[in-house]
Amino acid sequence: DTEVTQTPKHLVMGMTNKKSLKCEQHMGHRAMYWYKQKAKKPPELMFVYSYEKLSINESVPSRFSPECPNSSLLNLHLHALQPEDSALYLCASSYPGPRTEAFFGQGTRLTVV
């Protein structure tokens, strides 16, 4: 299984809503990532979990809250988002180390209204 599965594929939420994005992988990867991607731009790193611990937070606003319940699952909790947060949110996973490639999910297209 070489897949990273993200749910939902599409999400529309109001600025007062609370929602969660989910990500799952069964490749035994111990690093998991959240990226944000705007149209026609490269992905921007948000968070990295390594061995279920938060390793990197790229100064992301607190309205985004990551969670790693176990080595296969990664969540991103969303609360009080702004319209400018509308984007494609990508989950990825990899083995630890700078020589390894990341495997990406197909993303969640988020629209904040």
Partner 1 sequence: AQSVAQPEDQVNVAEGNPLTVKCTYSVSGNPYLFWYVQYPNRGLQFLLKYITGDNLVKGSYGFEAEFNKSQTSFHLKKPSALVSDSALYFCAVSSGTYKYIFGTGTRLKVLA
Binding site for partner 1 (CB under 8 A): 4, 6, 31, 33, 40-43, 45, 48, 50, 55-56, 88, 90, 92, 94, 96-99, 101-107, 109
DSSP 102: P
Q: Minimum CB separation from partner 1 for residue 87, in Å?
A: 12
Nearer to partner 1, 39 or 70 (CB): 39
DSSP 93: E
User: Is the N-terminal amide bond of 61 cis, ω within 30° of 0?
Assistant: no
| Cα(92)–Cα(11) distance, integer angstroms | 19
Nearer to partner 1, 9 or 77 (CB): 9
Nearer to partner 1, 59 or 99 (CB): 99
Range 71-87 burial, b when 16+ CB lie within 10 A, else e: bbebbbebeebeeebbb
Q: Minimum CB separation from partner 1 for residue 30, in Å?
A: 11
Q: Minimum CB separation from partner 1 for residue 35, in Å?
A: 9
